[in-house]
Amino acid sequence: MRHVAIIYKRMRPEAARLARQLKEWFENRDIEVFLKENIDNSGVSPVYEKIDIPDTVETVVVIGGDGTFLSVARFIERRSIPIIGINLGGLGFLTEISADSCFAELGKILSGDFDIEERMILQVTVKREGRKIFSHRILNDAVINKGALARIIDLHASIDGHFLTHYRGDGLIISTPTGSTAYNISAGGPIIFPTSQAIIMTPICPFTLTNRPIVLPADVTITVEIGEPATDVTLTCDGQIGCLVQDADQVVVTAAATPLRIIKAPGVDHFEILRSKLKWGQV
């Protein structure tokens, strides 16, 4: 490893401090470092600023929480650069290495003691009157939901051109296995092991109680058409970027060709993270 990028959570002094320490640590091992504070892309918008990561970077280190990790994953886009997440607190679902143990874990990684996980990415496209008006890749989920005062949403879902069902409710979550522990789990959706190849559709507060979450194969094309009337309805991707949708718009979701590659330190156990974050087994 000759060149790494370190991107850290903005407006967090402890993140900047750890980033500078890591930069010195890498440089003492003759590794070039590209250091950058993350960009503020708060608020739902169809466009976002991005950090141009140099082509020579071999690994990206993210310091922050899962939200920072999700935004940096967008900067990588279709490149195959592996990414490492360091959580400023304990453990995160994506930022799996704690700040306290990061130097020891990175030392193991530099010695070759690590695995690389490939996480499924979804491509989400909005079509209006046959034109593509929005398109982004997501690591967690795409959420179609209504504003606080909006009426129930009507959504017509099809799988590979075959009609699935008519959803009426507060919205719909389309999730990757990685995103199954995000909004999906709060809406009653299933937890899927993060390296699985599957797509989850989970209705949000459905009017019809028999509308239940469904797990689909990774190679399907999901098309959700927005029914009438559609006022104050938003498509949000990974909770950070999105657009307003209107009746007759089509939201098309497919698996992206290039997965995200995450470096797994040997001391990190996904089931340990589940127990810690979800407080399983605690009295």
pLDDT at 267 over 90: no
User: Which residue's structure tokens are 């974050």?
Assistant: 277
113 is annotated as an active-site residue = no
pLDDT at 274 over 90: no
* Single pTM value for the model: 0.92
pLDDT at 128 over 70: yes
| Mean pLDDT of all residues belonging to the chain | 91
Question: Backbone phi, then psi, for 6, in 5-degree steps?
Answer: -120, 120
From residue 82, alpha-carbon distances to 116, 165, 197 in Å are 8, 38, 19
Catalytic, out of 30, 52, 55, 66: 66
Mean pLDDT of the region 72-87 = 89
Mean pLDDT of the region 223-251 = 92
Name the band, by pLDDT with cuts 50, 70 and 90, for residue 148: confident
Mean pLDDT of the region 192-212 = 95
Domain 3-120+259-278 sits in which CATH superfamily? Answer: Probable inorganic polyphosphate/atp-NAD kinase; domain 1 (3.40.50.10330)
Q: Is 142 exposed, middle or buried (0-12, 13-18, 19+ CB in 10 A)?
A: buried
Mean pLDDT of the region 155-178 = 96
The CATH architecture one would assign to domain 122-255 is Sandwich (2.60)
Task: Give me the residue spans of the domains in the chain.
Answer: 3-120+259-278, 122-255
pLDDT at 90 over 80: no
Which region among 40-54, 170-184, 192-206, 241-255 has the lowest average model confidence (pLDDT)? 40-54
Residue 41 has a pLDDT of 64
pLDDT at 261 over 80: yes
Q: 43: Cβ–Cβ under 8 A, 6 or more apart, which residues? A: none
pLDDT at 51 over 80: yes
Mean pLDDT of the region 172-197 = 96
Residue 29 has a pLDDT of 96
Give me the percent of the chain exceeding a pLDDT of 70.
96
Name the band, by pLDDT with cuts 50, 70 and 90, for residue 40: confident
Question: For residue 180, what is the DSSP state?
Answer: G
Residue 167 has a pLDDT of 95
Mean pLDDT of the region 74-78 = 83
Residue 283 has a pLDDT of 62
Mean pLDDT of the region 2-29 = 96
pLDDT at 204 over 90: yes
Residue 80 has a pLDDT of 87
Instruction: Kindly state the helix (H) or strand (E) to which residue 267 belongs, with its residue range.
Output: none
Q: d(Cα 251, Cα 230) in Å, to the nearest integer?
A: 14
Residue bearing the bigger pLDDT, 69 or 268: 69
SS3 label, residue 214? strand
